[in-house]
Each structure stands twice: as C-alpha cells, then as structure tokens.
Chains A and B, each alone.
Chain A
C-alpha cells in the first residue's frame, strides 16, 4: 500500500457541469482523504452521476466542466483527453451500475482485466494473466482458471459485477468511484458484493466515492456523506452525525421515507412519511433554495436567497436547519 505525499485522494472545488442549456452540477465542493470513504446520495436528476463522470473525464458530448478537480497533484479539469485516459484505471477508476452494458460482450473477461494491467504497468502477457487469476481469486469467484475464459453473458450478474470490481482495483488506484454498484443485482447478492468491495478497497488503501440513492448502503460503507439535491450539496458531514441528526429537511425526509422494521412494527395502519411533490426539472429550478416548494419549513427568505453550506452555522445549506434540543440559531 502506497500513500502519496498529497494530502487528499481528491479535492473538488466549485465543480460546475453544464451543456450550455442546463446545468446539472451547480458548484459542488468536497475532499476525500487517502483511504477515506464518501457517500454521495441523491435522487435521479440530482447530478450525482454527472459529478462522477466529470471526475472521470467521461462526460457525454457537449457537456463541459468548470472549477477544479485536484487529484494526484494535477487539476483533472485542465488535463488533455490523452492524459486522462492514462489515469483511468491507474490512479482513479470506476465501477459502473450495470456490468452487462459496461463489459465488452465479445471479449473474454480475463482478457479484459489483463489488458488493464498490461496497459498501465507494462507487464507482459504471462505476468498480467497470472495477476488476473490472482485478482479473481481475491474476488471469491469459483474456478478462476476457467472463469477467465468466459464471456460476460456466460456468468451471473453478481459474478460480472465482481469482475468489474477486479478490473477497477487491478492497478491499486488512489480513488475508486462506484456508481450504484449493486442496483442491478439481486438483493441476496447485493450484500456479498458490497462486503467484497468493502474489503478490497480497505486492503488496497484506496479512497472510495460511493454514489447511490440507497441510504443503508451509505451507512454501511462510508464515513462521510454528501446529500445532493438539484445539482448542489445540501448537507455534508460524518455519516454518524448526518444520519442520526440530519440538519437539512431533505435529508430528514429521505431518512423518514425508508420503510424499516421500526416504522412497520407500530401497527398495520402505519404510514410512511413521504416528501411531497417531486424533484424539479433542471431547466426550471425554483429561485432561492431548490428544495423550498417541498420543504415544511420554507419561508420567504428560502424562496428568494439560495443558502450556502454553512449559511447558518451547520453543515447544511439551509436557512432554517433542524436544531438539536437546546441549540439556538446563530443570528
């Protein structure tokens, strides 16, 4: 395990991603230290996947990035495509949601992993193949010697996702971005894959950026969490604090809308607390705080002025954050 002298695995400052018409990410900043794990939660359209693609330099045609993304001593925003391409898989890598559409269907899975190793380490074929088999063994996959010869369609979804994880981890990257890595998998397989990702990331000392809409996964895997809404981070902090004492009404709403053992157990007529309304489309965001039309605590101020993170002394972008007992507003 190598720790570079650089303070952070990644440092994102005021990231803006837009395509001229709409802005999907509107000024996002966060840092992940080496070996740290951050969760990025949000609903579809909140900009969490665009943030990840911007970090990887894989935005679709027509989208561009402003701000800075410091990683391994360089600003990724200013890097050429060629430079970025030599980083992907080496210093930062990504596990995508659906392994069936991100693996090459006409190449054997073993070849796909070993070509990553050969490209970035310059190892010869024999060495790379031996490393591939070793990696597959670490992924708890059965019969690695046969599995390397399989095509993606011949193996199960859980196995495919483990191959993706093996590929992402092959070159000991400083940062791994996992975008909904288990949503396409069966529930009973989900936990195994998460456990494996957890261990593998820990063993390599890599940092992890976990992108999901699933709060329990964040609670299980991460030490900090950033909640995104309409292209901005609305609350950020240690998972234990944010999930136990959320400050933003949106975070509170997300936590309340999870069906759990406790809110079922009350009685058969229990109801989930739901957030009214829906996520606003990016081209017609409300003025002020983007959450104000759905927020129980919204006032005129919220409809006029957009709150920044820490506007009111807490790590939430809210004019009226939820206070703990005995806490007074910092005026």
Chain B
C-alpha cells in the first residue's frame, strides 16, 4: 500500500462530467398541452482527480442523486458527457465501459436496504466480482478487503440482520471495494448511522482515500461532515453547481445563496451553549 497524500494540481481528472444536462418529463397537467418538463441537471461541470476527495452538498431536490446516477453510469445523460479517464463512458466502446463499471463503485445511504437480507455477507461480497466477471483468487481478495474495513473473517458466514448499522455500512464499503475501484461514490453514507458510529465510518473513509489512493465523491446534506472528509466541495441548487471551493472557505465566506442557507443551517453545540443557535 502506498500513501497517496498529494497529487499534481494539473493531474488529469479521473471521473469527469462536462456540460451535463438532464430533463425529465413530468405528468401531463392538461389533456392537450405538452407534458411539462423539469430540468433536473443544468450544464453541470464536475471532476474528481486521482486520490482526491470531493464533496457534493445541496438540499433535497437539488439534483445530487441524479448526478450520482450519471456518475455511476446508471442513467444516460440527455445532454453532455460523462468521461472516465478521458473517454466517454457511453460512446467509448465495450471494453472501456467494462473498465468504467469496475472502477467506479458506490456506497448507499442505508446498508439495511442495500444488502440482500437473505444472502450471507460472504456471498454479498463476492457478488460484484461475479457480476463484473472479474477473475482471480476471490477468497484472498475477500479477506484482504475485510481487513481494510476492519472486520473479522467470521463475518462472512453471517447474515445482515446479525450486524449493527455501523458494521453493515463497513460491509457495504467492503463490497464496493471488492472489484478494486479507483473511485468510490458515497451517497449520504453516515446519515442513517448513530452518532458514535458516524465518526468511525468517516474515519474509515478518510483512511481508505489515504491508504488506497482512492478518489472519493462524498454526497451529503451536512456541510460539517463533508468538510471533515473532503478537500473540495461542490454546492448544488436546483440542478446547477452554484459554488465550488475548499470546505473551510465555503464555511467562512459562503458566496452563493444556497451555500449561505446550508452554512446557516449548521447547528453546533458551541452556538447552542452560547444561546444563539436559533437566532
């Protein structure tokens, strides 16, 4: 394992979207009028460099989840490009598509619903290797990944209901790591977890970025959690990227209205004790 703590500032983005737009058709409101349209993503530019941890924040309905669907290749963009390693994932050919599918993995919000309750953890962990048709010594790989997320090997024989939320989220992270991805996309990975467990999972994600040289896209609504894990934050509001910057700069001098609203919404124990949290 090599420690990747810094990277050249001009490094080529590993995962990038350019001028991405997506329009959804809404339900018909009038019988003869055309169906109304909703622009969920509007000319989005977004990039992650190798080994970089990037945050994506915004209110619900701002388009974070749709952008995640684009970044993982689940949904085809209406307009614009999704590039992995400089090649378009939708027009770059079968071989590149396969590489992209292996290299970008996702961790979802609630591990209780993202892990199959009837599948042993060991089987769940092997699932990505099977579906992505990855050859090799799967047994060794499983043990290696379990070690990376800090779980014991007797977890393999057990079922999801036997674990606590924090352990399940580690298992979900382990499953995402199985194919040896370059980019990990985490969609609200700690908001379903208990406070004392959140810190463990945040620290784990931070360690993985450092030890494995992973790129991380961290999606959340809580600015302080994102600021803790990432070095660059994109702020989304109604389908647009309204501000990009270092987390602390965004915190101290928020420019866009959406950022100001998010910063203003952060409650802290200190402000509460001083009596001005709800002012």
Closest to A260 in B: B268
B194 near A260 with CB under 8 A, answer: no
Selected contact of B269 from candidates A191, A258, A271, CB within 8 Å: A258
A260 near B269 with CB under 8 A, answer: yes
Residues of A near B225 (CB, < 8 A) are 259
A216 within 8 A of B: yes
Given A187-B262, A195-B278, A220-B271, answer yes or no on A261-B221 (Cβ-Cβ < 8 Å): no
B277 near A220 with CB under 8 A, answer: yes
Q: How far is the CA of A217 from the CA of B266 in the complex (A)?
A: 10
B225, B262, B268 — most chain A CB neighbours (10 Å): B268
A275 near B269 with CB under 8 A, answer: no
A275 near B273 with CB under 8 A, answer: no
Residues of chain B at interface, number, CB under 8 A: 40
Q: How far is the CA of A86 from the CA of B158 in the complex (A)?
A: 47
**Residues 252-275 of B at the A interface (beta carbon under 8 Å):** 261-262, 264-273
Selected contact of A216 from candidates B164, B198, B261, B271, CB within 8 Å: B271
A219 within 8 A of B: yes
Q: For the complex formed, measure the closest distance between the CB of A259 and the CB atoms of chain B, giving whole angstroms.
A: 4
Residues of B near A244 (CB, < 8 A) are 273
Q: How far is the CA of A121 from the CA of B197 in the complex (A)?
A: 46
Q: How far is the CA of A55 from the CA of B63 in the complex (A)?
A: 41
Selected contact of A254 from candidates B196, B264, B277, CB within 8 Å: B196
B272 near A274 with CB under 8 A, answer: no
Selected contact of B277 from candidates A216, A257, A270, A275, CB within 8 Å: A216
B222 near A43 with CB under 8 A, answer: no
Selected contact of A271 from candidates B206, B224, B278, CB within 8 Å: B206
Q: Using an 8 Å CB-CB cutoff, how does the interface string of A255-269 with B read, 1 for contact, 0 for none?
A: 111111111110010
Given A44-B165, A264-B227, A264-B247, answer yes or no on A257-B269 (Cβ-Cβ < 8 Å): no
B203 within 8 A of A: yes
Residues of A near B270 (CB, < 8 A) are 219, 260, 262
Residues of A near B247 (CB, < 8 A) are 264
Closest to A43 in B: B194
Residues of B near A268 (CB, < 8 A) are 231
Given A187-B59, A268-B231, A279-B164, answer yes or no on A219-B272 (Cβ-Cβ < 8 Å): yes
Residues of B near A273 (CB, < 8 A) are 199
B60 near A194 with CB under 8 A, answer: no
B227 near A259 with CB under 8 A, answer: yes
**Residues 210-226 of A at the B interface (beta carbon under 8 Å):** 213-221
Residues of B near A274 (CB, < 8 A) are 196-197, 199-200, 203
Residues of B near A264 (CB, < 8 A) are 224, 227-228, 247-248
Q: For the complex formed, measure the closest distance between the CB of A87 and the CB atoms of chain B, giving whole angstroms.
A: 30
Q: How far is the CA of A17 from the CA of B144 in the complex (A)?
A: 44
Given A258-B269, A279-B194, answer yes or no on A271-B203 (Cβ-Cβ < 8 Å): yes
Residues of A near B198 (CB, < 8 A) are 257
B90 within 8 A of A: no
Q: How far is the CA of A276 from the CA of B166 in the complex (A)?
A: 11
A272 within 8 A of B: yes
A186 within 8 A of B: yes
Q: How far is the CA of A193 from the CA of B231 in the complex (A)?
A: 31
A190, A263, A268, A270 — most chain B CB neighbours (10 Å): A268
Residues of A near B197 (CB, < 8 A) are 43, 274, 278
A239 within 8 A of B: yes
Q: For the complex formed, measure the closest distance between the CB of B115 and the CB atoms of chain A, giving whole angstroms.
A: 17
B159 within 8 A of A: no
A272 near B203 with CB under 8 A, answer: yes
A186 near B194 with CB under 8 A, answer: no
Q: How far is the CA of A165 from the CA of B231 in the complex (A)?
A: 39
A243 near B196 with CB under 8 A, answer: no
- Beyond known contacts A43-B196, A274-B197: 12 more, CB 8 A cutoff: A186-B59, A188-B265, A213-B195, A216-B277, A244-B273, A256-B199, A258-B269, A264-B224, A264-B227, A275-B196, A276-B200, A278-B164
Interface residues, chain A, with chain B CB atoms under 8 Å away = 43-44, 186-188, 190-191, 194-195, 198, 213-221, 239-240, 243-244, 253-265, 268, 270-276, 278-279
Sample of 18 A–B contacts (CB below 8 Å): A44-B194, A186-B60, A187-B59, A187-B221, A187-B222, A187-B266, A188-B264, A190-B267, A216-B268, A217-B272, A220-B277, A221-B272, A239-B272, A256-B199, A257-B195, A257-B199, A274-B200, A275-B200
**Top 9 closest A-B pairs, CB basis?**
A219-B272, A274-B199, A220-B277, A257-B199, A216-B267, A220-B272, A43-B194, A272-B199, A275-B196
